[in-house]
Amino acid sequence: MSVMSENRLEIRPLAPALGAEILGVDLAPPLSEATVRALRAALLEHVVIFFRDQELAPPQLLALAGRFGEIAEYPFVTGLPDHPLVLPVIKEAHERANFGGVWHSDTAYLERPAMATLLYALETPPVGGDTMFANMYLAYEALSEGMRRLLGSLRAVNVAGKAQARQTREEMHSRRGTAADVEATSATHPVVRTHPETGRQALYVNLAHTLRFEGMSEAESAPLLDYLFTHQIQPELTCRFRWRPGSLALWDNRASLHYPLNDYHGHRRSMHRVSIAGDRPQ
C-alpha cells in the first residue's frame, strides 16, 4: 500500500498484475490540477483504478472524464437523452445477454479507439456482476522472444460485427441502438502497440473484435490468434473488481482488456459509462 500524502490519496493495489483502489478523494467537486496529475499517474502505473462511495450525477461524471481527455461518443448505442455522451449500460432482471460480455478492448474497431473508459455503478446485484481486467503489458512481456519478434511485424483487422461481440449488444441495441453500420466498421492496428505515455509495449488483440491478421485469411490467422486470446487472460495477469452502488472504475484501454461477468440472471444491473477519445495505435 502506498500513500500520496500531498493529495491525501491512499492507493491500495488490488492484485499484483494490475488494479488499485484509490481512497481519500471525492470525485464530485472540481478536482485540483495536482489531484488530476496524481490520479493519472496512478492510472498509468496500475492500468485500472477504482473508487468507492462516490455520488456522480451525469454532469459530474462528464466533468470528471473531461479532466482526462476529450469525451468520445459510443457509435452503436445512444446515450442519455439529456447527456448523450453518457451511455446507460443496463441489464434488466429478465434479460440474458450481458453488454460487452466477452474479453475485449473498447472500440478496437475504430481508427482511434478509446483511450480510457469510466464506468459508474448505480444499481448492482446482491452478488455477481463483477468485472475482470487483464494487463496487456504483462501479456506481451510473458511471450517468448521469438513470439514477440513475430508479432512485432504483424497488423490485425479489428471489426465491430464479430459474432462474439455482436451477441453481447443485442438487447442493448434493441432498446437504444443507432443507425450506425456495425458490419462496415473496422480498423487495422498493430498487434503490438506502444503506449504513447509510458513507452511500454502491450499486446493489442482481443477475442471480441480481432478477426484476422492483415494479409491473411481468418483460417490462417486462427491458430495464432486462438493462442493469444488464451494467453492474454491467464489468471496471473488479471484482477477482479466487485461492484457496489457508488463504485467507479477508470481503465487505460491502451494496455488492458476487461470482461463483465454474466452471473447475475434475475437481478438488475445499471451503470453509466463515458469513453475518453484516444489516438491511432502505433
Catalytic status, residue 273? yes
Among residues 40, 173, 193, 273, the one annotated as catalytic is 273
Catalytic status, residue 269? no
List the grid coordinates of 244.
457496489
Inter-residue contact 241 to 128 (CB < 8 Å):
no
Inter-residue contact 52 to 255 (CB < 8 Å):
no
Task: For the chain, state the CA radius of gyration.
Answer: 18
Catalytic status, residue 46? no
Core vs surface per residue 152-186: b (16+ CB within 10 A) or e: eebebbbbbbbeebbebbebbbeebeeeeebeebb
Mapped onto helix, strand or coil, the DSSP state of residue 64 is helix
Catalytic status, residue 258? yes
Measured from the Cβ of residue 58, the count of other Cβ atoms closer than 10 Å reads 17
Give the span between the Cα atoms of 205 and 279, in whole angstroms.
16
Among residues 104, 195, 212, 254, the one annotated as catalytic is 104
Among residues 40, 189, 254, 258, the one annotated as catalytic is 258
Among residues 40, 106, 169, 212, the one annotated as catalytic is 106
Q: What residues are annotated to the active site?
A: 104, 106, 258, 273
